Amino acid sequence: MRQDSERGDAPGEAAPARRSGSVLAVRGAALDIRFSAGALPRIDEALRIARDDAEDVLLEVQSHLNDDSVRAVALNATEGLRRGASVEATGAALTVPVGDAVLGRLLDVMGRVRDLGPALPEGTPRWPIHRPPPALARQSAATEMFETGIKVIDLLVPLARGGKAAMFGGAGVGKTVLVMELIRAMAEHYQGISVFAGIGERSREGHELLDDMTHSGVLARTVLVYGQMNEPPGARWRVGLTALTIAEYFRDAQHRNVLLLMDNVFRFVQAGSEVSGLLGRPPSRVGYQPTLATEVAALQERIASVAGAAITAIEAVYVPADDFTDPAVTAISAHVDSMLALSRGMAAEGMYPAIDPLASSSVLLDPSVIGDEHAALAARARQVLARYRELQDVIALLGVEELGTQDRQAVARARRLQRFLTQPFGVTEAFTGTPGRSVPLTETLAGCRAILAGETDDWAESSLYMVGDLAEARQKEDARRRKEAA
């Protein structure tokens, strides 16, 4: 049985004497390894298989089979391995390089440089990827708003500085684009360190992100850590811990604020399910691993803020078959402060970002945190949008003309507000030709207040679609009226 209390050595601890073993069996990414009796490596200890004709294979112990054998999971490719190959126990958990030397670099799960640049300097500090979360007494609450410049987020689902936000959505509704826009927008206003974890993502997306960050000049304050879709499940399973360890170093050793971005956390769960099957564990609900809740908690509970330094996490989460009751989705959502639900219906209507304001939630949407005016405007906006959604079936059957005066007014304002909350993104400018917009919170609140007060009731809905602030929408409306009058 796996003992969660058995972790790798913390920084500064003396490592035990190294021990050697041999490979008993190779089953894809899972290996059975025999050591001499009484010399078994601990759970989560790193093992190494040296090879002359290929890069060394790193493994992580996952279970003790008997008095002299362990089962381990490989973190890189195992092609060409044979039974009887010599295995060395490192005496500690897997360690990865941390600190200023990794800024501007692209690393893999084992901390090796993958950007074709020079090797990391000698003496670069290394930390183990298995570390306990900060003690509860050291943690600080997230009560300060993290302004993003994205209207629908800042108005209805505010993010917390030092908190955890997750974007949930099915395939093709805009999760990765939203993450990329947040990276771009925050780089302009946020001077901390950014750590990006690409968990099970496509190689193309990694190249695009590296190019975008290089051209925008923010790569010098960013660390990219990738465990891509084509890598073994062990790499995709542990790459989040590698990125988190790097973020923890900046928080704990340098007392700097860190922005941690993870895309896609569902792939972490998926990789854990593959590893669980390789280890021979019986599946649990919907075929997921029986250790799902423990694995998600081990990752999420380490994302915490302490006095003087914060880790702010923004995570993308794939929702299989758009089923928000999926066990993986519910396990992840239990740990976040702000939940952004992306709607396929809104994406189909062209309402980007396709964030469903009624299905999304945030712990910061409280008058004591964001102020009475903001809270009241957000509540009023939700009320109008909810009323519009209630009337949509009636409108589809009978038409909007059959509604009462108050309901017609609510529908008209809800549709205008819905369009005002759309926004062109800088990362999509190359495809749409429309420059991106970043809107200050004060302008977002002013625009929302004007729409709910009826100041735009005689405007065309199209004048409010894909604009920044209300002044830009007014210019668009004036241009439309001049064109009609001509």
Q: Has 274 been annotated as catalytic?
A: no
Residue of 18, 202, 285, 481 marked catalytic: 202
Residue of 161, 175, 413, 474 marked catalytic: 175
Q: Has 175 been annotated as catalytic?
A: yes
For the purposes of burial, counting CB atoms within 10 Å of the CB of 420, is it exposed (0-12), middle (13-18) or buried (19 or more)? buried
Packing angle, helices 372-398 and 405-420, rounded to 10: 120
Q: Has 415 been annotated as catalytic?
A: no
SS3 408: helix
287-321 residues labelled b (16+ CB within 10 A) or e (exposed): ebbebbeebbbbbbebbbbbeebbbbbbbbbbbee
123-144 residues labelled b (16+ CB within 10 A) or e (exposed): eeebbbbbbeebeeeeeeebee
Residue of 45, 147, 181, 201 marked catalytic: 201
Task: Give which of 106, 120, 400, 340 is closest to 227, Cα–Cα.
Answer: 106
Q: Using CA atoms, how far apart are residues 343 and 353, in angstroms rounded to an integer?
A: 9
Neighbouring-strand partners of residue 60: 46, 73
Neighbouring-strand partners of residue 386: none
Catalytically active residues are 175, 201-202
